[in-house]
Each structure stands twice: as structure tokens, then as C-alpha cells.
Amino acid sequence: MSALNRNILALREMSADEIQLILDQAQEMKEILSRPIKKVPTLRGKSVVTLFFENSTRTRMSFEMAAKTLSADVTGFAASTSSVAKGESLKDTILTLNAMKADAFVIRHSASGAAHFIARHTSARVINAGDGTHEHPTQGLLDMLTIRQHKGTLRGLTVAIVGDIAHSRVARSNVWGLTKMGAKVRLVGPRTLLPADVEQLPVEVHTNLRRGISGCDVVNVLRIQMERQDAGLFPSVREYAQTFGVNRSVLREAKPDVLVMHPGPMNRGIEITPDVADGEFSVVTEQVTNGVAVRMALLYLLLGGSNDASGH
Amino acid sequence: MAKTESVQVMDGDEIRRAITRIAHEIIERNHGADGLVFVGIQKKGVPLARRIRDAVQTIEGDELPLGTLDISLYRDDYDSRTAELVPTDIPCSLTGKTVVLVDDVLFTGRSVRSALEALIDFGRPAAIQLAVLVDRGHRELPVRADYVGKNLPTSRREEVLVMLGDDPSADRVVIQKPAGGQGGK
């Protein structure tokens, strides 16, 4: 009994119409966040369980705020303090939580495909909040909503995603979402941080930052994961900052009204300079607000529908 | 069941006169238009709210705020399949104001209940008054309108359609009866 009769596991699996619906509804949800009383009764009596097997602050808080604004009950679950620490398998954890009659699971896990796995073992709705290096669909949606608010549309735009593409689920969700909505995507980064299957993605690939962002409407800067340096994927953090750090000078290659985005948390002075992060092109804080709106829209579309609705 | 029979119950002139009368009643009851805020329930209350607000402005001369309210998230029978959200835009704080809530048709009263709950999230109005173009009866909740364009006895199986367009002379209200003549009381 809801508008999206599915789980939200990957943008690759979704249609342009579904993405459009989510973005349109998120736009209306955003208005609620600016009300004097930021709460609507819509999901009263629905329960949302957040399963975070990996650390997260903003995504988890964003989902909790979204659920609470819609009056759903949220139960948190952190792997470090649960029976997972006693060796319980993911499947048993899900079967247990299933028996408690949750309406939706929001899951983050370090294994790609974890959300799909859970979806096979529960009748509750599942929203992927990031699985390994696979996808982070709600981040892709909030990035698209932010771009659309500034540019009016996604069709025909050129979006450069800069940084550690290979390990980035954010990049993958952006690639699938943006291309479905008619934008062109460029992936920009050192060879060692591009995915092995990059030729199979519907994107342009650049290993030079200036050329990569030349004429772009949007530059989406990814976090460089410090632990990757230990794996020898780039020579030094300083060298990375000099060749792939987004600064004011490099940004002049992009369109004059370029938007600069970052999914957070930022390493200021490494992948992005502080003056760009806080500058006039940056929409980083709007991304955070839009994140709550997108998650509200998803919970509404997945759980919306009282049990005794007349169904007309 | 696919065939329906439509009967026109108000034409453009009658609707215009009803709106003018409602505007005068609003002004009389509130001793002027000070502190009035007009709010149309999405979607069909919105054009009617604009017409009534404009009519009050024409008489009183002051510029009066007009807002829109989507009640989908407050309904007791909501369903996200059919309730696609549309803009809610309340242009000012409602605290201390007299809100004239506007909808096209008053039927069960459930939309109005949802709207009352939603409005109160925008402040504490001094009063909320309800204006509708058509009151068709069959209330399921203790709700009544303060201003009514036309009282229209209907059967539950009928549908009342208010059509307000860009050209007011083409406006009309029709009752659609299910085919087969079983729609009567």
C-alpha cells in the first residue's frame, strides 16, 4: 500500500520515473523542516530500525531525524554493542529483528551486497545506507536534489566526480542516478583510484584534474580515505593534494556558476581547500539538509499507506 | 458503471455571486479584514481561496496574505500511492491571526480535520473559520462551515465537481451521478 513498491538498494536498479518521484516528494518534504513545529503525524505507529555495522554520524542521524519528523519510531542498532560482537551472523540478526515486526530496516555494512542479502530475509522494507564499495543510493539522491535546486534540471549538465572513485559507493550511486536523469558524468582521479571496470560505466574518464573539470556545471569532491595511502595507491597525501586537490585556481576551469559538493566528512586541505569548502560555490551544508528531506520522502513513499486505507 | 450522468448545479455567474457574498460575510463577521489570512487546501481549495481573498481585497482595499496547505501527511486515510505531495506555503506566522480556511466541497469533514491539525503546526491562530463553495452533507465528524456558497443535498454515491478556471465565466459546479438512476436519495 505505498507508492514505491520496492526496497531502495541501488540507484542502478531504479527507473528515471522513480527517481523523479522521490526528488519531487523530497522537495515538498524540505518545507516541513523550516516549520515552527517540525513534525507531521504521517508515520505514527511505524517502526524503523537502523542497522549500522559501520561507523557513520551524518547518515545515521539524518535517517533518524527524517523518521522522527514523520513520527515513526526509530530504534538504533550499533554493531559494536550488539550480539554481533558475540558472533551472531547477519542472517540471525535479521531474523531476530524481523520477529520484532519492524516496518523498515536502514542498513549500512562494509560488505557490498549486504542490503540485498537482508532484503531476501525480511518482508520489511529495506533502505541501503551504504554497502561496501557498491552503492549509497540516498547520498546519490540528495546530491541530485541539491543540483536540481540550483540548476533547475539534471538533463544536459556535466558533473565531475573527483577523487577515490574505486572505493566510493557515493560515486557509483551518482553515476547511475545522474546518467539515468540525462546528465553527463566524468570521473576524475589517479589511475590507481579508478575502478577496474571503469570502461563499462557510462562515463568519461580523466586523470588530469584541470581537464576533468573543464566546463563542468558541478564538481563533486570525494573524501580521500587515509587508509588507502597505506595500501600504496597514491604516493603521499601531500602529492595527492597538489595534483587532485580542488582549489580556487583549478575551479576557474569549470563554468562560472559551478557548484562544489562534498559528501563529507571533509579532509580540508587535502581533497578540497578550506576557502573552496566554505566559499560561494559550495553547497555542502545544503546537501546535509537535503539529505533529511530525501530520507523523509523515501520513508513516506515506502511506508506511506495506512493499513485500512480505502485504496481508491 | 463506467457511464456517468452530469448535472450542472451552479454556473459562472452563480459562483461569482456566491464568492462576493462570502467575501461580504467574512468582512461583516470580522469587522473588516485586519489580521485575516486566507489558506486554500490543496488542490481545489487553492483557486477558490484566491478568488475569495481577491474579493475581500477589492472591498476592503488592503493586501491580504494567501497561503496553500497540503494535508496529505495529516490524513487519517493517507496513502502515498495517491497522495503525491504538493506545495504547502504559509506566508506568515499564524499566531494571533484569523485564518479563513478554504476548500471547494465540504463532505465528510475529514479533510478539514486534517487541515486544522496541520494549521496549528504553523502557530496558534486567534481563530480559524471555514469557507466552502459547496456543502454536500454526509458529515462523519463534528465539523461545520462558517461560510457556504451553496448547500447541495446529494447522495453518497454522487460526486460533486467544482471547476474553477482562468475564465470565470466558464466556471461551473456539476454533480456526477452513477449511471442507472440509482444515485437518488
| CB under 8 A, 24+ apart: contacts of A224-228 | A224/A163, A224/A164, A224/A267, A224/A270, A224/A271, A225/A164, A225/A167, A226/A267, A228/A164, A228/A167, A228/A193
Dmax (CA) of chain B: 51
- Residue A306: what pLDDT? 53
Whether residue A309 and residue B123 make contact (CB cut-off 8 A), yes or no, is: no
- Residue B3: what pLDDT? 66
- Residue A176: what pLDDT? 97
Q: Report pLDDT digits (tens) over A173-217.
A: 999 999 999 999 999 999 999 999 898 999 999 999 999 999 999
Q: Report pLDDT digits (tens) over B39-58.
A: 999 999 999 999 999 999 99
- Residue A94: what pLDDT? 85
Contact B102, B40 (CB under 8 A): yes
Whether residue B121 and residue A37 make contact (CB cut-off 8 A), yes or no, is: yes
Name which of B72, B79, B93 is nearest A309 (Cβ-Cβ): B79
Q: Report pLDDT digits (tens) over B12-37.
A: 999 999 999 999 999 999 999 999 99
Residue of B39, B80, B111 best to disrupt the A interface, most CBs of A under 10 A: B80
Lowest mean pLDDT among A47-56, A192-201, B74-83, B151-160: B74-83
Name every chain A residue with its beta carbon within 8 A of the beta carbon of B140.
none
| CB under 8 A, 24+ apart: contacts of B56-62 | B56/B23, B56/B26, B56/B27, B57/B33, B58/B23, B59/B23, B59/B24, B59/B27, B59/B33, B60/B27, B60/B32, B60/B33, B62/B33, B62/B34
Mean pLDDT of A17-40: 94
- CA dist B94 and A251 (Å) reads 45
Tell me: pLDDT of A76 over 90.
Answer: no
Whether residue B84 and residue A70 make contact (CB cut-off 8 A), yes or no, is: no
Mean pLDDT of all residues belonging to chain A: 91
In A, minimum Cα distance to B82 occurs at A3
- ipTM for the complex shown: 0.81
- pLDDT category at B183 given cuts 50, 70, 90 is very low
Residue of A1, A24, A35, A70 best to disrupt the B interface, most CBs of B under 10 A: A35
Q: Report pLDDT digits (tens) over A215-252.
A: 999 999 999 987 777 788 888 889 999 999 999 999 99
Which neighbouring-strand residues pair with B12?
none
A289 versus B1: which is more confidently predicted? A289
Q: Report pLDDT digits (tens) over B110-144.
A: 999 999 999 999 999 999 999 999 999 999 999 99
Tell me: pLDDT of A26 over 80.
Answer: yes
Name every chain A residue with its beta carbon within 8 A of the beta carbon of B121.
35-37, 39-40
Q: Which residues contact B151 (CB under 8 A, 6 or more apart)?
A: B134, B135, B137
d(CA A74, nearest CA chain B) in Å: 19
d(CA A233, nearest CA chain B) in Å: 46
- Residue A88: what pLDDT? 78
Q: Catalytic site residues of A? A: 58-59, 86, 108, 136
3-state SS of B143-168 is: CCCCEEEEECCCCCCCEEEEECCCCH
Q: Report pLDDT digits (tens) over B85-114.
A: 999 999 999 999 999 999 999 999 999 999
Tell me: pLDDT of B184 over 60.
Answer: no
Tell me: pLDDT of B181 over 80.
Answer: no
The reply to whether A235 touches chain B by the CB within 8 Å rule is no
In B, minimum Cα distance to A43 occurs at B73
Name which of A25, A36, A305 is nearest B122 (Cβ-Cβ): A36
Tell me: pLDDT of A85 over 80.
Answer: no
In A, minimum Cα distance to B122 occurs at A36
The reply to whether A32 touches chain B by the CB within 8 Å rule is yes
- Residue B79: what pLDDT? 77
- pLDDT category at A312 given cuts 50, 70, 90 is very low
- pTM across the whole model: 0.89
The reply to whether A311 touches chain B by the CB within 8 Å rule is yes
Residue A244: phi and psi, rounded to 5, are: -125, 5
The reply to whether A71 touches chain B by the CB within 8 Å rule is no
